Amino acid sequence: MLGLNNKLERLANFYGFYGVFIRPTSPTPPTFQPLSGSRESDLEDLRLQYRYQRDISEQHLLTIKELVSDEETRHSSIETKIGNVITQAGLVFSITAVIAPFFNDTLSSQKLGIKIFVLIIFALAFSAYVTSILFATQIFGINKFVYKKTSVASVIDSGSTSDAIFVKRVKDLIYQHRENQVVNDKKADILIYANRWFVSGFILSGLLTGLITVSLLFVNKPDEKEKENDRIINSLNSRLLIAESRLTQHQFTILSNNDFLSNQQVGKRFDRSMNEIDSIRFELKKLKALIHK
């Protein structure tokens, strides 16, 4: 049972659902608090203790600016890719919903078990696309992803000397880069999970298409000749019903009418209806015999 839980937990983590099958035994440490002795803690100590060094500090500033710029570029790239995932998932989602009714003609002659299996695959693919869109749209939660930037108050309160201002600028950029990197990492996780769900839905859609294509080879669809024969038989059956209805009406008229001349006229109509019925029955019998050959 423990092995099954571990497998389910790994599968849930792969698709972005952490802690679904394992109950946490201790509270999670705060996200932004660096652990003592960790690399993040050492970097924070270096940032707080940073001092101005001629020439070297200028190179530090240039390098940190490049890192901040790279993180901004990464931010734009992640959001563009997430937008592409939303667009593609929405497009495939819409196409799948449109063509779903046409599956009925293909699967109407299949066994119930095959229909249920195809329905399950379709539901899983549909759910995968929906989940992909739901994951990707998390980036629109502006309050969850706050990027750090240098404020006016920070610039004014930088210090009274050029060295102090320079040091303050370096410290702010280091802090900005670190915090924005954390936010971008969260968005990158969203992109990874949204893409995984989209790929899973795409694979299931391909499997569904393959199943339907293969099923076409085993569905016996009536050819044009059989369709034409069915149309003729239906037409003859309709004519037979109409003739029998007229015959019944003539019989009722003869029984309820005492006029001899009128009865003669109705009798002639009755005979014509009988001849028509016999003719239709003969055509039906002949056509059915031809079909069964």
Reported as a single tens digit per residue, the pLDDT across 228-281 is 667 777 776 777 677 667 666 655 665 565 544 455 665 666 666 667 667 766
pLDDT reading at 151 higher than 80: no
* Residues 84, 212 within the same domain: yes
* Residues 153, 76 within the same domain: yes
Of the pLDDT bands very low, low, confident and very high (cuts 50, 70, 90), residue 292 is: low
* Residues 236, 97 within the same domain: no
The domain of 127 spans: 2-18+35-218
Closest residue by Cα to residue 199 from 15, 72, 43: 15
* Residues 212, 258 within the same domain: no
- pTM, two decimals, is 0.60
Q: Phi and psi (nearest 5°) for 105?
A: -65, -35
Of the pLDDT bands very low, low, confident and very high (cuts 50, 70, 90), residue 167 is: confident
Of the pLDDT bands very low, low, confident and very high (cuts 50, 70, 90), residue 77 is: very high
Q: 218, 251, 277 — which closes off a domain?
A: 218
Q: 183, 218, 253 — which closes off a domain?
A: 218
Distance, in Å, from the CA atom of 268 to the CA atom of 263, rounded to the nearest integer, reads: 9
Q: Phi and psi (nearest 5°) for 147?
A: -95, 140
Positive or negative, the CA dihedral 21, 27, 32, 36 is negative
